[in-house]
């Protein structure tokens, strides 16, 4: 049973009036791993996650969470799934630690509340009413509430948005520990470094669909071209070099003696360039391969223009 996916979304469509927020989205989330959902503003990430949490009924398609229907089986899922919403969902007059203790009391085997409060840096504001907490403190409290019941699966919607670097690191540590404990984590984020640091799998959502899916390494390797740079004698015959390289490779001398080769840079290409240099008596002063970052891939997939 535990080999079944934690979340299985097939052909999900969700409309709000005439607006199609999610437009035939497919996503399979493996268990005991961290899946990051990335996408431009308005791509449909929150709507998708909220549908998995049972807040919306799909207009078409199916959603299964731990093998169950998030709406029809909401009661069965509640003790097994932790949810951190993008904005509160919390009674604003309640005190931070009281709320967390109350939440913990609803579960059979909760985490130690005191320890959780300490590690998320909420110790000094435990008696503060929710509405008087800073944005970052509210955020950390929501995270604590999502994980206190030791869920099998947690949904974290932009868990580190607006957090200071210390709180961000503390959140990352907590996510890593959840994963080490076998918890499935689905998080949305606009921070590419966060996805690179935490995610086993990344799904890029655009206009209501998943347009790319894989490990950060797979996406960085497959999605974008890479670059090889070397420096050597000026005026090398790049047309001759290109003949030795796969079709579609490009080469340029950017400044006298500074060369850039762009294309599918793999170990074979590196060997070919090095041996071509050797045949021409060129000893490069430097030779480096630049891997594309997840941000490069993301921008390549979703475009560089701002969306309306």
Ligand X SMILES: Nc1ncnc2c1ncn2[C@@H]1O[C@H](COP(=O)(O)OP(=O)(O)OP(=O)(O)O)[C@@H](O)[C@H]1O
| Minimum gap (Å) between residue 285 Cβ and ligand X | 44
Stretch that binds ligand X, among 45-53, 176-184, 209-217, 226-234 (CB under 6 A): 45-53
Of the pair 132, 307, the CB lying nearest ligand X is at 307
Stretch that binds ligand X, among 38-46, 108-116, 173-181, 274-282 (CB under 6 A): 38-46
Query: What's the longest Cα–Cα distance across the chain?
Result: 76
Stretch that binds ligand X, among 34-42, 116-124, 240-248, 287-295 (CB under 6 A): 34-42
8 Å CB contact between 15 and 38: no
Q: Say whether residue 191 binds ligand X (CB under 6 A).
A: no
Stretch that binds ligand X, among 14-22, 136-144, 175-183, 225-233 (CB under 6 A): 14-22
Composition of the chain by helix, strand, coil, percent to 5:
35, 25, 35
Instruction: Using CB under 6 A, pick the residue from 5, 11, 42, 214 that binds ligand X.
Output: 42
Instruction: Using CB under 6 A, pick the residue from 9, 27, 36, 46 that binds ligand X.
Output: 46
* Residue recorded with tokens 């950017």: 254
Q: Say whether residue 16 binds ligand X (CB under 6 A).
A: yes
Counting residues that bind ligand X (by CB under 6 A) gives 11
Of the pair 23, 253, the CB lying nearest ligand X is at 23
Q: Say whether residue 41 binds ligand X (CB under 6 A).
A: yes
Alpha helices in the chain (DSSP H): 45-52, 74-77, 96-105, 113-119, 135-147, 165-180, 192-198, 216-222, 238-243, 267-279, 294-302
| Window 47-106: residues binding ligand X (CB under 6 A) | 47
Closest to 204 (Cα-Cα) out of 35, 30, 15, 13: 35
Q: Say whether residue 21 binds ligand X (CB under 6 A).
A: yes
Q: Say whether residue 43 binds ligand X (CB under 6 A).
A: yes
Give the integer Cα–Cα distance in Å for 150 and 179.
12
| Minimum gap (Å) between residue 232 Cβ and ligand X | 45
Give the integer Cα–Cα distance in Å for 130 and 108.
25
Of the pair 14, 150, the CB lying nearest ligand X is at 14
Q: Which helix (H) or strand (E) holds 29?
A: strand 19-29
Of the pair 86, 231, the CB lying nearest ligand X is at 86
| Minimum gap (Å) between residue 299 Cβ and ligand X | 15
Of the pair 42, 129, the CB lying nearest ligand X is at 42
8 Å CB contact between 136 and 164: yes
Of the pair 87, 92, the CB lying nearest ligand X is at 87
Strands 201-206 vs 209-214: parallel, antiparallel or unpaired: antiparallel
| Bridge partners of residue 263, in order along the sequence | 226
CB count, 10 Å around CB of 142? Answer: 21
């Amino acid at each position: 049973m535990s080999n079944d996916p934690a979340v299985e979304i097939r052909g999900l469509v969700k409309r709000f009036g005439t607006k199609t927020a999610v437009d035939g989205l497919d996503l399979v989330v493996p268990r005991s791993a961290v899946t990051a959902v990335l996408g431009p503003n308005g791509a449909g990430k929150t709507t998708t996650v909220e549908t998995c949490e049972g807040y919306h009924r799909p207009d078409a398609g199916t959603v299964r969470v731990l093998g169950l229907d998030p709406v029809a089986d909401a009661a069965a899922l509640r003790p097994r799934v932790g949810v951190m919403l993008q904005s509160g969902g919390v009674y604003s007059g309640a005190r931070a630690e009281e709320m967390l203790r109350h939440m913990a009391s609803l579960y059979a085997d909760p985490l130690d509340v005191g320890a959780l409060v300490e590690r998320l840096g909420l110790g000094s504001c435990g008696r503060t009413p929710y509405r008087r907490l800073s944005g970052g403190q509210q955020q950390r409290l929501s995270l604590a509430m999502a994980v206190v019941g030791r869920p099998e699966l947690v949904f974290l919607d932009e868990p580190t948005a607006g957090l200071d670097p210390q709180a961000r690191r503390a959140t990352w540590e907590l996510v890593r520990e959840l994963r080490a404990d076998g918890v499935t984590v689905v998080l949305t984020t606009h921070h590419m470094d966060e996805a690179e640091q935490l995610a086993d799998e990344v799904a890029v959502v655009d206009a209501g669909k998943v347009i790319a899916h894989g490990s950060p390494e797979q996406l960085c390797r497959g999605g974008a071209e890479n670059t090889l740079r070397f420096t050597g004698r000026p005026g090398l015959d790049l047309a001759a070099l290109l003949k030795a390289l796969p079709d579609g490779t490009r080469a340029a001398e950017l400044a006298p003696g500074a060369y850039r080769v762009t294309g599918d840079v793999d170990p074979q290409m590196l060997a070919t360039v090095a041996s071509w240099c050797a045949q021409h008596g060129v000893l490069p002063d430097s030779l480096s391969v630049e891997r594309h970052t997840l941000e490069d891939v993301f921008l390549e997939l979703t475009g560089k223009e701002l969306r309306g």
